[in-house]
Structure 1
Amino acid sequence: MSKTETQDKEVILSVKNLKKHFVVGGGQVVQAVDGVTFDVYRGETLGLVGESGCGKSTIGRTLIRLYGVTDGSVEFKGKNVHELKGQELRAFNRQMQMIFQDPYASLNPRMTVMDIIAEGIDIHGLASGEERRKRVIELLKVVGLNEEHADRFPHEFSGGQRQRIGIARALAVEPEFIIADEPISALDVSIQAQVVNLMKKLQKEQGLTYLFIAHDLSMVKYISDRVGVMYLGNLVELAGSDELYENPLHPYTEALLSAVPIPDPKTAKTRERIILEGDVPSPINPPSGCRFRTRCPKAMEICAKEIPQWKEAQPNHFVACHLYNE
């Protein structure tokens, strides 16, 4: 995405210095997300990647108000989502929806597929009676399921089918923005591609905007326009999908990408595998300065003393690393 392209795009979601901390036993504070800033443009897919426990899912849940905010702001279409009340909050709940990671835990086992998908329709009063049933059947067909599936219960479906039901539920209230929280990680590889292709098709047809949270770097590159890389509650790099994969700037991004399997064995030797030493530090007591410095092969003295500034190192390529500070 070029400089002009981003300037011409409408910002639908703006996250500024977002912090989400949790108080745990003994009064200790887990800094799950600690000062994250990014924008999402209308109609794009922003991918969010990083190791388990880096704060990706916490960001998604905070954006949609499943978690409160410790500090910073989340603005959706110019309004702070954590200050919305009454009708504005009701409208926001319809405009932003979430697809959850676990297709087994995210569907109520006591409800039929008809009632699961229609729950949002009922809450927002969008249809009733025969019209309600018609809308649910249309949604089932959109996600590749049949009318006969409407009266079944979740336990009668495979993981891939359940995730399609989750997508249909998210689409039921005609949202503009969907947070997909690792929507394919619990699925078989063959089903993963089907679900991702379905999401791309729906985005094109309905003009949806996605925040796509995942571990699989290859899949994130396939579906995303831009990709953000997280480490221990911080965003360390953000760039266009192709740019990030071809020209990673942050040492952590380089290490992550070096682990992605290369389909063609002839070119496999051209990439050097970077093995990070040590474990991820605890978010209760993160390292001083740069949080990645304890595992970084390029760490310098300044990395322990100062927090690296988030800056645009190259056009539309942002990074937080002392290697790029003046």
Structure 2
Amino acid sequence: MSGIETHVEKILEVKSVKKHFKLGKGQVVQAVDNVSFDVYKGETLGLVGESGCGKSTIGRTIIRLYKATEGEILFKGKDVNRLKGKELKRFNREMQMIFQDPYASLNPRMTVLDIIAEGLDIHDLASGKARREKVVELLKTVGLNEEHADRFPHEFSGGQRQRIGIARALAVDPDFIIADEPISALDVSIQAQVVNLMKKLQREKGLTYLFIAHDLSMVKYISDRVGVMYLGNLVELADSQELYDNPMHPYTEALLSAVPIPDPNVEKRRERIILKGDVPSPINPPSGCRFRTRCPKAMDICAEVTPVWQQVRPLHWVSCHLYQEDSLKKEEAKKGPVAAR
């Protein structure tokens, strides 16, 4: 799939969304700040970035576990923050989430049968014998057996627990699934199994995924398009292959330079880019471009003006002064005619 090119129907629109958390003494954590992107029906949009960049927060805000501070989130054309009653219940069925920690996301006091069937009960989708048959069908779908239905979460491995989490998300036949780092707590050998299972289910059921992770190689494998976040901002978004072949934002370049090349004999090698300093605090982020304090290509204007989120190539969006003509002209003017030559 080529992502946006083959998927013309928008299933999700995130428009200038902010999520700030208030602390004591008037301090505010700007976890997500002015993020915009669309997700198209049937695709997988990957969202990457280092820990604390806000990618999990945006996922939880989309599904209404957090209420957005500002902005709009439209799912199938409706603002999710305005949904009530039957519309809200329908939304909760159509959008599901797979959580990061398979050890913490399952109730230890409930059997697997009741964990998976909880959604069926809430939405009145099955009862009695049909309820158990549906759960058994879901267990088999994710590679588990009927005998697992009557066991408790502590009797399973991490990979098996994550499969149970996937079965729980699938129980209500959703259209859209937010996968919040679903493989980060698993062994490498199990990660590939879970990702391949998700790809298989997507083909069979026509699912749409927002896949949140920090493993760049795995994100490339599963995603049609990839967005890169840094300190609460979305800095780049493009088709998966385009982003990995032609990264435009300095932060994306640095991230991708750390990805190992599978074949050591390949001549094409990336020069390793080592970023200096630590990630600034989201309580007091830098002015202008938030990446400027660590950016090897930073200009004076980066500290003064927040870069505009714009499309600089076909289907390739970036937020950086390096690609804004007005910014470059101002920098040249500051240097003067001698420096410009």
- Determine if the TM-score, normalized by the shorter chain, exceeds 0.5: yes
Largest Rg, 1 or 2:
2
Instruction: Give the gaps of 5 or more residues in structure 2.
Output: 326-341
Residue number in structure 2 paired with 1:274 = 273
- TM-score if structure 2 supplies the norm length? 0.94
Task: For residue 268 of structure 1, report the CA deviation from its aligned partner.
Answer: 7.0
Residue number in structure 1 paired with 2:145 = 146
Residues 3 and 315 of structure 1 are in contact (CA less than 8 Å); yes or no, is this contact kept in structure 2?
Answer: no
Residue number in structure 2 paired with 1:106 = 105
Residue number in structure 1 paired with 2:332 = none
**For the structure 1 residues 225 and 48, does the alpha-carbon distance in structure 2 shift closer, same or farther, using more than 3 Å as the test?**
same
Matched, 1:247 2:238: no
Instruction: Give the gaps of 5 or more residues in structure 1.
Output: none
Cα deviations by residue, 1:88-129 (Å, 9 ceiling, x for unpaired): 000000000000000000000000000000000000000000
Which letter does structure 1 place at the counterpart of 2:290?
Answer: R
SS in 2 for 1:265: coil
Task: For residue 245 of structure 1, report the CA deviation from its aligned partner.
Answer: 0.1
After the TM superposition, which of the residue ranges 17-26 and 191-200 deviates more from structure 2?
17-26
Residue number in structure 2 paired with 1:19 = 18
Q: How does 1:219-230 map to 2 (within 5 A)?
A: 219-230=218-229
Residues 2 and 224 of structure 2 are in contact (CA less than 8 Å); yes or no, is this contact kept in structure 1?
Answer: no
Matched, 1:67 2:70: no
Q: How does 1:21-36 map to 2 (within 5 A)?
A: 21-36=20-35
Q: Distance in 2 between matches of 1:50 and 1:254?
A: 12
SS in 2 for 1:61: helix
Residues 3 and 224 of structure 2 are in contact (CA less than 8 Å); yes or no, is this contact kept in structure 1?
Answer: no
Residues 308 and 322 of structure 1 are in contact (CA less than 8 Å); yes or no, is this contact kept in structure 2?
Answer: yes
Task: For residue 270 of structure 1, report the CA deviation from its aligned partner.
Answer: 2.0
Residues 4 and 40 of structure 2 are in contact (CA less than 8 Å); yes or no, is this contact kept in structure 1?
Answer: no
* Aligned residue pair count: 325
Task: For residue 269 of structure 1, report the CA deviation from its aligned partner.
Answer: 7.0
After the TM superposition, which of the residue ranges 10-19 and 23-32 deviates more from structure 2?
23-32
Q: Percent of aligned positions with the same letter in both sequences?
A: 81
Residue number in structure 2 paired with 1:318 = 317
Residue number in structure 2 paired with 1:234 = 233
Cα deviations by residue, 1:118-166 (Å, 9 ceiling, x for unpaired): 0000000000000000000000000000000000000000000000000
Task: For residue 267 of structure 1, report the CA deviation from its aligned partner.
Answer: 2.8
**For the structure 1 residues 301 and 194, does the alpha-carbon distance in structure 2 shift closer, same or farther, using more than 3 Å as the test?**
same
Residues 289 and 303 of structure 2 are in contact (CA less than 8 Å); yes or no, is this contact kept in structure 1?
Answer: yes
| C-alpha RMSD of the superposition | 1.2
Matched, 1:47 2:46: yes
SS in 2 for 1:319: strand
Residue number in structure 2 paired with 1:38 = 37
SS in 2 for 1:270: coil
SS in 2 for 1:313: strand
Q: Distance in 2 between matches of 1:164 and 1:286?
A: 38
- Segments ≥4 residues shifted beyond 6 Å: 1-4
**For the structure 1 residues 175 and 149, does the alpha-carbon distance in structure 2 shift closer, same or farther, using more than 3 Å as the test?**
same
- TM-score if structure 1 supplies the norm length? 0.98
Q: Distance in 1 between matches of 2:66 and 2:274?
A: 34
Task: For residue 3 of structure 1, report the CA deviation from its aligned partner.
Answer: 10
**For the structure 1 residues 274 and 114, does the alpha-carbon distance in structure 2 shift closer, same or farther, using more than 3 Å as the test?**
same
Residues 262 and 268 of structure 1 are in contact (CA less than 8 Å); yes or no, is this contact kept in structure 2?
Answer: no
Task: For residue 31 of structure 1, report the CA deviation from its aligned partner.
Answer: 0.2
